[in-house]
Amino acid sequence: MARPRDDSYSTTTWSEAFTVSVLQKPRATLTSGNTTISVGGSVSLSCSVRDSDGWKYEFYKTTSTSWEKLVETSVGDSGVIQVSKGGIYQCRGERETSGYLSDMSDVAIIRITFTNKPVITQQPSWSQIFQGEKITLTCEVQGGEKTDWRYYWRRNSRSLPNEDEKLLQFTASESFNGDYKCMTTRRDDFYSLTTWSEAFTVSVLRPKLSVSPSWLIPGASVTLICHTEPPSAGWSFYWFKAVPNSQDSYTYEPLPGTSSGTANNSFTVHGQTHTAGYACSAGRGDPLIYTQHSRPTFVWSSGVHPSASLTVNPDRVQHFTSESLSLTCEGNSSQWRLIRFLTDDSLLSFLPPATINGSTYIKNEAPRKAVYWCESGTEFSNAVNISTHSDGVILVSPVYPVPVGESVTLLCVMKTGNISSDVFFYKNNKLIENERLGEMKISAVSESDEGFYKCQYNGRESA
């Protein structure tokens, strides 16, 4: 109410009530727009104080030591600014008339993700990479070529130590095989980053060697073929003999007349009569870069070497898994190693060593087909085919070739023992005999008897 200053008897009525509510000190709110942008774009930041007018706004960004004031808006502005860098931001409001300040907003961590995706390229751009070649992978952000980036690399989801390098360089070997990815952040802004690139697969190959035939035929030559799949031009090929060493591996000696390489990826070896191992390598480029050697590939001979031999007990090709067998290396060496090559898996393994006149006993725990031989120094023994079977019937036939003129008896047996009723014998899949005693005898072996034999009993066939 009010009254005139010079008349104390004149008054107004009381006004209507006017309510004053004193609120707690307001806190500003900071929000951001879409943070997925292209390089050179910006993100909107909006500051507001709850349901009230008359504010102007201050925006701050953290530095390594303090908060840096970015900008101050005017009253009536929308309270929105544009930023091109990620980081940690805050804002607050200020009353224009009174200078009254709101509390700072909560911290807002703005992470900017660029839509520009890194791409990995390879130099040289060969589809095949071989051991020893110098390889460079480059991480390039498309559309971000003028931006100063920090680079990160992964191989098979594991971080590589080449941080901050645009180029990843290495000398190719199988240890570098894998899926590579890269991503980047702005060098001046850890909070602005790209996504990870698509995987770039590096497969460092070694050539593969095939031999034909795998088993030596007396008087026949052996053809070696060095495969670089898919075939590519510009290669020179180099041919080696695999020589056993003392570390369960091989050294490689050039075959005569091949030290300068051949333009053809095949090579013929003449006069090979005993088990032997071979390898190949290839080279290309200027200067010439060589691949690593292929894994050794073997050509086998069943003929006994005069200075190295392998004997098998029991003397037969097929065995049951419940049986054990003895393999004995003999010859002019004091130390041997026994080799097993699983034919179904193409897997080479070195079995426990056997000394001269010693034996290695193998328990047949799983069905398998394998070739066995002995090695020592430069010597290879004869090779033997051995297969093991869990059940059914097996054909008892000698491991070693039967000399012409000698006799041989083939037996069809089950795990429980010999068979004394009707058994069918086949040669090269053609029925040749039906024997009641479960055996077939050839009294004098001739060259015409060579072939693949099997037996059948009660619907079951030997391998």
Lookup result for tokens 């079951």:
460
What's the full length of the chain, in residues?
Answer: 463
Asked whether 166 and 123 are in contact (CB, 8 A), the reply is no
Measured distance CA(235)–CA(213) in Å, rounded: 25
Which of the following CATH numbers is that of domain 308-389: 3.30.1450.10, 2.60.40.10, 3.40.30.10, 1.10.3720.10?
2.60.40.10
Per-residue pLDDT for the chain (463 aa), expressed as one digit of tens each?
A: 677 777 777 778 888 888 766 667 889 999 999 999 999 899 999 999 987 788 899 999 988 777 888 888 877 678 899 999 999 999 999 988 888 999 999 999 999 999 999 999 999 887 778 777 889 999 999 999 889 999 999 999 999 986 678 999 998 888 888 999 999 999 988 899 999 999 999 988 788 999 999 998 877 899 999 998 656 677 899 999 999 887 778 999 999 988 888 999 999 999 888 899 999 998 887 777 788 889 999 999 988 777 788 888 888 898 888 777 888 888 877 778 888 898 887 888 887 655 444 566 666 666 788 999 988 877 889 999 888 888 888 899 988 888 888 999 898 888 877 787 788 899 998 998 777 777 888 889 998 888 889 988 888 888 7
The DSSP code sequence of 391-441 is: SSEEEE--SSPPPTT--EEEEEEETTEE--S-EEEEETTEEEEEESSSEEE
Burial class (CB within 10 angstroms; exposed 0-12, middle 13-18, buried 19+) of 47: buried
Q: Does domain 116-204 have CATH number 2.60.40.10?
A: yes
Whether this model's pTM surpasses 0.85? no
* 263 residue type, one letter: A
Measured distance CA(313)–CA(114) in Å, rounded: 71
Fold adopted by 212-299: Immunoglobulin-like (2.60.40)
Architecture of domain 28-112: Sandwich (2.60)
CA dihedral (69, 70, 74, 78) in degrees, to 10, reads -120
CATH of domain 393-461: 2.60.40.10
Asked whether 39 and 116 are in contact (CB, 8 A), the reply is yes
* 272 residue type, one letter: Q
Pair of tokens at residue 400: 């070693």
- Calculate the alpha carbon distances from 28 to 21, 50, 68, 97, 385 in Å: 19, 7, 17, 18, 84
- Calculate the alpha carbon distances from 51 to 13, 22, 27, 428 in Å: 34, 15, 11, 96
Task: Name the nearest CA neighbour of 140 among 170, 176, 103, 183.
Answer: 183
Ranges for all domains in the chain classified under CATH 2.60.40.10: 28-112, 116-204, 212-299, 308-389, 393-461
